[in-house]
Structure 1
């Protein structure tokens, strides 16, 4: 591997990676996995680490945790510790590296930056539930009036800290144009867009024929709007398979009746097989980016997605799938259109190749080089 650029050209840069928490392999951890492979000597810091929950590439970095790691049963209750996140991050000591790369959708971007260190934040999104999506997580209809009022006060305080500490990174990279606009709106900071890496070498078209079923691969949480996919499939009369777990599972099972098969969490190889077999993959919620539609297209499968957020940057309406309006009826119209006139495998695959890991590494490395070599007056964006 080529030595990283640094202030001292005679030695590689010392790098510290900072991630919100390590409790499972989701999209953010896929990005971190690539960074761990790119920077094998980097230290890795996180609020909470559930041992064995992430890939060997991440585990090999022996993550260093905050004081929250000592909380009893932390693996189960870590999301309830949000009021303590600011204190834990403010106390996090990453040493004296040349470069911090934070991968953040919550608190990691706020890690203190030591003097002489440069800080690049790869931002998945400004904290959704502290800013514009409070009701989807903690609105009265979801958690009751009393708890919603308490969470509103806590998250207002968190948002003030989040905004105040948004000055700590020298530069931001956004995962999509959609997130770049959110960074400007909530942090008043500019950013460059570097799309996340999809493993297009692993997710490839299969040799078999498509089966007539729709597929959802998603956490079963409210903002993912899996209920829209369930109802649209029932309206169109197409079977639906759902991969994923979450608190909405019981309600979605009742809603789906006999036309929906809930498969729970599956291994990557099983998900790839389903991508290859499905007639269409559904993305009914508003995503910041969304790796699922890219992985599906890499397997030659079209996507029906809500026409807002990151999907507008990954799915080409009428070419690799359909972008729809809000609501079940609009989503059902898009689903019928794709089932009746399915896009070709080649078009889907070509679109997915835009988001390859090789492209991500190239663009990320360029951003790191540019930051480390910038003159002091040109460091901050």
Structure 2
């Protein structure tokens, strides 16, 4: 079969890119398509040397740094890819990748990280956190998101099979598209992390600094716990806000970006990993557990499927500093009962090997069913 792999954009190596990496391992002859591809040469190893066919957005002014500003043009751009010569189209989508045009004799399987979250149930949160809740910009943003939402719903009809990255996202797919979705958890490179049983007396939080990660909430909580030490790792647009939240608190260190080896060392040494986002899946909590480190997480979204309350960590029910503080105190009182080995064992349920096995099995089943339906249709004719 001729296979095409379609992604939203290629700018960094992160969670969605890890999925693409494994898909390309399973289908090494596949051709790659992306709205834009601005990966540096030293970041391209996960693509097996492939160069993506890109859209007109690649050539737009400031596209390298401001590509998200072209969101209203992305539905048009993704529809311009000519995939008519491919038998199997696999899209890895959190924005518009699943909107590629395919015909009735082509099988389109979408690995969906989420329906466009900022156009559906998180729209109001997105507008507020982006400073777009008032004035003319508010109405322009609302119109753009309305357009994206309509495109997102319409383009779901062109997908034969949805594969969701969690049960949480499968429920969102059902809500937004009225479609079922198989669940295949994304790959986590468990072998990159080693179990460490001896812990030091500090907490760690690591994430890209963007609004929905709620890193400033974690800093605010630890400001009220001067005897609890916290290390915050990461970079991004909200880094200055997080540093402002931690300003004057001697028990909080904000490192900014750290190389992987250093970040891993902190995750191995920490007494617990703190996670405050409502995440679709959430890879970093699994990485922390792979180090034998318990996770204190907001009890919503994908974390509910990776962290086991009382066995590999604890949940806090509200995204408030007060709720997080209560979870930290609970951990301080009874967290000694959590075994590093139990954390590691739980993390191993999300390995790269299991992803490949589950994903390929789901795709093979979809191909078999699609071919049976096609054969039956031809026989009927």
* TM-score normalised by length of structure 2: 0.92
2:162 & 2:202 partners in 1: Cα distance? 40
2:234 & 2:215 partners in 1: Cα distance? 11
1:352 & 1:110 partners in 2: Cα distance? 33
**Pairing 1:34–2:29 present:** no
Alignment of 1:1-381 (within 5 A): 13-52=1-40, 54-58=43-47, 60-139=49-128, 142-146=131-135, 147-206=137-196, 209-237=198-226, 238-257=228-247, 258=249, 259-326=251-318, 327-340=320-333, 341-342=335-336, 343-375=338-370
* CA-to-aligned-CA distance 1:152-210 (integer Å, 9 cap, x gap): 01110111111011111100001111000000000111101100111111112137x31
Moved more, 240-249 or 99-108: 240-249
1:80 & 1:242 partners in 2: Cα distance? 29
**C-alpha deviation, 1:243, in angstroms:** 1.7
* CA-to-aligned-CA distance 1:206-253 (integer Å, 9 cap, x gap): 37x312221111111111111221122222332221222122111211
Q: Secondary structure at the match of 1:139?
A: helix
| Structural RMSD (CA) | 1.7
Paired residue for 1:4? none
Runs of 4+ in 1 over 4 A off after TM superposition: 375-379
1:199 & 1:20 partners in 2: Cα distance? 22
1:367 & 1:354 partners in 2: Cα distance? 17
Q: Secondary structure at the match of 2:322?
A: helix
Aligned residues: 366
1:233 & 1:28 partners in 2: Cα distance? 31
Q: Secondary structure at the match of 2:46?
A: helix
Q: Secondary structure at the match of 2:47?
A: helix
Query: Any unmatched runs of 5+ in structure 1?
Result: 1-12
**C-alpha deviation, 1:150, in angstroms:** 1.2
Do the aligned residues in 1 keep the contact of 2:26 with 2:360 (CA within 8 Å)?
Answer: no
Q: Secondary structure at the match of 2:204?
A: strand
2:129 & 2:211 partners in 1: Cα distance? 13
Q: Secondary structure at the match of 2:91?
A: strand
**C-alpha deviation, 1:115, in angstroms:** 4.1
Do the aligned residues in 2 keep the contact of 1:96 with 1:114 (CA within 8 Å)?
Answer: no
Q: Secondary structure at the match of 2:300?
A: coil
* CA-to-aligned-CA distance 1:260-303 (integer Å, 9 cap, x gap): 22222233222211110111111111111000110000010000
* TM-score normalised by length of structure 1: 0.92
**C-alpha deviation, 1:362, in angstroms:** 0.4
Do the aligned residues in 2 keep the contact of 1:45 with 1:94 (CA within 8 Å)?
Answer: no
Q: Secondary structure at the match of 1:296?
A: helix
**C-alpha deviation, 1:375, in angstroms:** 4.2
**C-alpha deviation, 1:378, in angstroms:** 5.2
2:89 & 2:99 partners in 1: Cα distance? 11
Do the aligned residues in 1 keep the contact of 2:4 with 2:31 (CA within 8 Å)?
Answer: yes
1:236 & 1:350 partners in 2: Cα distance? 31
